[in-house]
């Protein structure tokens, strides 16, 4: 764990395919950020300023190539789970929620209430929603698999069009 004043290098690269254009970022410990579609590098800088205030950025396509490959495999339907390491920066509660998200099977959806039940805090549905919204590595930690109790798609940092596309991809 880094001390507050230590400088952290964040390596980044732009992932592009036919449908998506996303900034990816990683530390030496793993993927730490997946950007929203078509958002600029400024979104990554804003996110990092809160979690890695002493960060310096270094573009490194080669270092992020394995992450890009797994994303490409996922988007093409050849991958259902990610194997790369992640470096998650968040509160204990957020990390608990994100761990539950990692366990949601490919092609399935859970409600916010079900996630709250799984962390044994059934009344914390709104807090669960906030933690899901703060997920820095969307897609690989599948927050898109969480829907409203009425079955409707609700908030997603990548936008509801992306959420719908990811769910449709996973339905085959």
Rounded Cα distance between 119 and 123, Å, is: 11
Q: Domain boundary residue among 75, 107, 128?
A: 75
Owning domain of residue 165: 92-170
CATH of the domain at 153: 1.10.10.10
Beta bridge partners of 10: 57
Please, what is the average pLDDT of the chain?
Answer: 92
Residue 154 makes CB contacts below 8 A (sequence gap 6+) with 112, 129, 147, 148
Catalytic residues: 143
pTM of the complete model: 0.89
Least confident span in 19-33, 35-49, 93-107, 117-131: 35-49
Mean pLDDT along residues 42-66: 92
Residue 93: what pLDDT?
A: 97
pLDDT tens for 78-136 read 999 999 999 998 999 999 999 999 999 999 999 999 999 999 999 999 999 999 999 99
Residue 11: what pLDDT?
A: 97
Based on the fold, state whether residues 65 and 97 are members of the same structural domain.
no
Residue 8: what pLDDT?
A: 86
Q: Domain boundary residue among 75, 110, 129?
A: 75
Please give the tally of structural domains in the chain. 2
């Amino acid at each position: 764990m880094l001390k507050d004043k230590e400088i952290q290098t964040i390596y980044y690269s732009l992932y592009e395919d036919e449908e998506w254009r996303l900034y990816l970022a990683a530390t030496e410990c793993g993927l730490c950020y997946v950007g929203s579609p078509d958002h600029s590098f400024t979104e990554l800088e804003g996110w990092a300023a809160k979690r890695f205030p002493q960060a310096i950025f270094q573009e490194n396509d080669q270092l992020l190539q394995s992450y890009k490959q797994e994303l490409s495999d996922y988007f093409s339907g050849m991958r259902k789970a990610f194997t790369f390491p992640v470096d998650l920066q968040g509160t204990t509660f957020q990390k608990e929620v994100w761990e539950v998200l990692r366990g949601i099977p490919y092609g399935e959806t859970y409600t916010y209430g079900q996630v709250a039940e799984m962390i044994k805090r059934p009344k914390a549905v709104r807090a669960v929603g906030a933690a899901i919204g703060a997920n820095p590595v969307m897609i690989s930690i599948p927050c898109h698999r969480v829907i409203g109790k009425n079955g409707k798609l609700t908030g997603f940092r990548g936008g509801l069009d992306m959420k719908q596309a990811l769910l449709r991809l996973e339905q085959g």
